[in-house]
Amino acid sequence: MENNTNKLPKILIIGGGFGGIQIAKKLKNKAVEVLMLDRHNYHTFQPLLYQVATGGLEPDSIAFPLRKIFKGQNNFTFRVADVSQIVTTENKVLTDIGEFSYDYLVLATGSETNFFGQKEIEHFAMAMKTVPEALNLRSLILQNFEEAVSETNPEKIAALMNFVVVGAGPTGVETAGALSELKNHVLPNDYPELDISKMNIYLIEGEPRVLAPFSAQASAKAKQFLEKMGVKIILHSRVNAYDGQKITYNDTQTIATKAVIWGAGVKGALIPGLENAEIVRGGRIKTNAINLVQGYQNVYAIGDLAYMETKDFPHGHPGVAQTAIQQGQQLGANLINIINKKPTKDFWYFDKGSMATIGRNKAVVDLKFWRFQGFFAWLTWMFIHLLFLVGFRNKLVTLINWIVNYFSYDRGTRVIIRKFNRETMKEADAAV
């Protein structure tokens, strides 16, 4: 257990995502002690996880050591820890490495995949919220084709070459597009023994259109891009079951597949102990206008975990990186004001727009007063993502990979480093 011996207020941040990083940076050189806990020692740039999963990038291109981010910030301490319980009556948290006290607690744990209580689907479908999950998915994709090469049963080959993406939000659309580019440009050269034209990519969505939160113009264009790339889009459909062999949707329709990628929803990554908090739809914690968890005086929540009702966002803010970044910056300033007994400022979200890439030269961008699609949107998407990647090396390596992939029509990281056991749905022994 660590104690605050110098009597400065201790701000404990759980989570090293976009929001956690911003609030810690905002507190640099302030008269406070900042402690950050995270189960990993790195920050993950989640918007590019699908590229790790489909062989476009290596994981170290989108991960950056948290300690390196805060190098030289003397009031900052970091520990790798898995938080199991919050004890608000004693202002402390319990972890696998001990207890940590706080004066102010900030929950920046983000979100996790939501399977909506469907345990069988949760067991067999592939999530993609973390680097290990993205690597597992990459292994599964490549293992399916390695197995298909040696298989003689046509039905089994079909199941190995059918890929189903559930959820047509940005993650689902981008993943389906990346799989299509693998099919069209990469896999025919890697597996000449297989008829890659028989590889099918399905995108299942419950809403009447893809990219439902986007404008109708962007949605229609994204659908057009995907269909031109060969993705089979199934709208107005709900997945009922998946047993590792076939997926069932709309009660009776089935697809034989050994690869289901689940992007149909997320929920707040809650930590036990907040009995007084109001948990709303999607596992989010209700907060007031300064991100204070209702029912508590010194516990705050930001980003995907927080649910804040405002006039412009009566159902809470969107679960995107910009929300976490802006809330982290604002809460950092507010905490200093609270400590110094100064007025706080309510959070106001500046919507910078939405964007998604479907593939080479294909993207959609929705800004407040301007919507555009195609090549320029694709360049905009790349620029913005490079801009927000943490670390110069990561930016440079990612840019070089994109340039090489663009001109070579190739993805150079098609290696099975960690074998994936399809039965247990866990990482098996290392492949090397």
The set of catalytic residues is: 174
Containing 49, the helix (H) or strand (E) segment is helix 49-53
In sequence order, the β-bridge partners of residue 287 are 293
- Separation between Cα atoms, residue 261 and residue 6, nearest integer Å: 49
Amino acid found at 255: I
Alpha-helix residue ranges (DSSP H) falling in 344-416: 375-388, 392-408
CB neighbourhood size of 209 (10 A): 17
- Separation between Cα atoms, residue 17 and residue 44, nearest integer Å: 7
- Separation between Cα atoms, residue 306 and residue 302, nearest integer Å: 5
- CA-based angle 94:135:44, to the nearest 5? 50
DSSP 248-302: EETTTEEEE-S-EEE-S-EEE---TT-TTSPEETTTEEEB-TT-BBTT-SSEEE-
User: Residue 112: what are its φ and ψ, rounded to 5°?
Assistant: -135, 165
